[in-house]
A and B are shown apart, each in its own frame.
Chain A
Amino acid sequence: MSLLEIHNLSKSFKGLLANDKICMELKLGEARCIIGPNGAGKTTLISMISGHLFQSSGIITFDGKNISNHDLVKRVRLGIGRKFQTPTLFDNLTVYENVELSVIRNNYSNFEKNAKIDETLKLIRLFDEKDVPANTLSHGQRQWLEIGLLIGNNVKLLLLDEPTAGMTTEETIATTKLINNLSGEKNLSIIVIEHDINFVRELGAQITVLHLGKIFAEGNYSTIENNKFVREIYLGAPDVVS
């Protein structure tokens, strides 16, 4: 059964169609990359799934429930978590306190809570940094910490908006592993918006190409790579080519 089903989802801003009748399905444990030039409507789509924006029309079903009219908090509580484009963290709190804030929403016992925090910290490779304030972390580490906040929150669906932006090559590779680990072992469903084509290739997930608010192409990396029209729209937006 699909975890997430999107049916004919549209969003218009003052008459401008940012998303036009998007249909998409995502299975439990499946990772999906969404690529497309600037202004293709990628962030709009993610925002409608996370509940930061409401659709103009269409239906979103999650875990068998119609969540189209659920607000942000309700969706988070069902298990949809979002990482923003620029990491939003509790900058002056320590890494540990950051994760703690996400974990304590579930009324764990003290023992469970500590176990969950430690597990999350190890997963995002920040266990050794747990007592430093979040604002002293490197850019890449901040991205991980934000993913950690979502894991600690017990999400089923992760929405990652450019998780590798500003990362070094090593950090990008580690992130790829992390995401594969989350979808493979932890059985989380993941939607990743990405610009970095190398990352998309390494991740090896199914790809959805958005263009002008519509789904333009779908398939695995080699199908997309060989799609003439995809190459054309990417050449039209040089900053995306890498």
Chain B
Amino acid sequence: MQNVLTKISGEAKFELLIFLALASIPLVFSGYILFILPQYMLFGLLAVSLSILWGLTGIISFGQAGFFAIGAYAIGIVVKSTFLMNSAILGILLGIIVSAVIAGVVGYFLFSAKVKATYFVLATLALSIIIEQLAKSQKEITGGWNGLFVDRISISFGDLLEYSLFNDIPMYYFTLLLTTIAYALIKFLTTSNFGKILRGIRENEDRILALGYNTSIYKTLIFCVSGALAGFAGSIYGTHAGFVDPSLARVLFSTEVIVWVAIGGRNSIIGSFLGGILVASLANYLNSITPEYWQLIIGIVFIAVVILFKGGLAGGLEEIYHRLKSKNYVSARNP
């Protein structure tokens, strides 16, 4: 028990450190990094949305990019078509709700029939392709292949206060604030009883069922949460990037999310979050120095991680930490 407590607080300290570091970056740096980092934070959230499925519950989804795209389109379409005061908030809410509802319907449809885990992967793959195709074909709404331009939003609180996110620093802190809130909520979720039951499903679904938990409801709920989180990240991404196009829903983008999480460490929320930030920035960097080879390199790293380091970077660090701490540590997490 003592061991577990120190471990939890150690992880919490690390998380705090990461978010403090993110908060202090604008004090030290300026320029491009302040523009691009919020985008990577959102990718980090997108990675977290997969990690609560894959690492926590044992379900892989190839459709996270689809939900992300739904969020981005939602804010794009709402901001364009309404003249309401709070169209930005409406857009974000819509992104969350539509993603959650689609995830809920598809999830319940498949989970309640006890569809095999690998089939679920194929269904999410198809879902993502459906979203991409619809984005391409419904030109009047989505702009088709050409995509949609989205203005940077302003958040207004009545007539008194309006907070424009046009400049990089307000946008940075706005994104960071929302990312932190979302992260904290997810963290709370994973440590709650609900999270424990999900871990039970990952470990032994038959047993969890025989203990009287309706596993299909739990799986549907977490898929809903995951979809909502991806949609949320997508909606902020939409206004941050200022542009949405069908490539956001591509299966290839969903794959990138899988790669981030695999490299960061699927069992660790903070690992996945950092995986999203670091691998995406690494990809960006590699793309600038060696545009031909960067995807190849990332593909090869992905294979290495799947074969050799199931726990990803977070798992590796944890292992080292525990080895240093005690030599006869029995790995409870990554046997």
Contact = CB atoms under 8 A, between A and B. Distances in A.
A102 B196 CA distance: 10
B204 A91 contact: yes
Given A100-B196, A101-B200, A132-B330, A149 B211 contact: yes
Interface residues of A, number: 30
A88 B213 contact: no
A138 interface: no
Interface residues of B, number: 23
A217 interface: no
Interface string B178-217: 0000000000000001001101100110111111111000
A122 to B, nearest CB: 16
A93 B209 contact: no
Interface in B225-281: none
Given A73-B213, A93-B332, A135-B335, A88 B196 contact: no
Contacts, number: 67
A102 to B, nearest CB: 5
Contacts of B4: 131
B329 to A, nearest CB: 11
Nearest to B206: A88
Interface string A139-151: 0000000000100
B212 to A, nearest CB: 3
Contact of B330 (A96, A101, A102, A133): A133
Contact of B197 (A104, A130, A153): A104
Nearest to B197: A101
A48 B155 CA distance: 59
Contacts of A97: 196
Contact of B211 (A84, A94, A102): A102
Given A73-B212, A93-B332, A105-B211, 18 more contacts: A81-B210, A81-B211, A88-B206, A88-B207, A90-B203, A90-B207, A91-B203, A92-B332, A92-B333, A96-B1, A104-B196, A105-B213, A130-B1, A131-B4, A132-B330, A149-B207, A153-B211, A153-B212
Interface of B: 1, 3-4, 193, 196-197, 199-200, 203-204, 206-214, 330, 332-333, 335
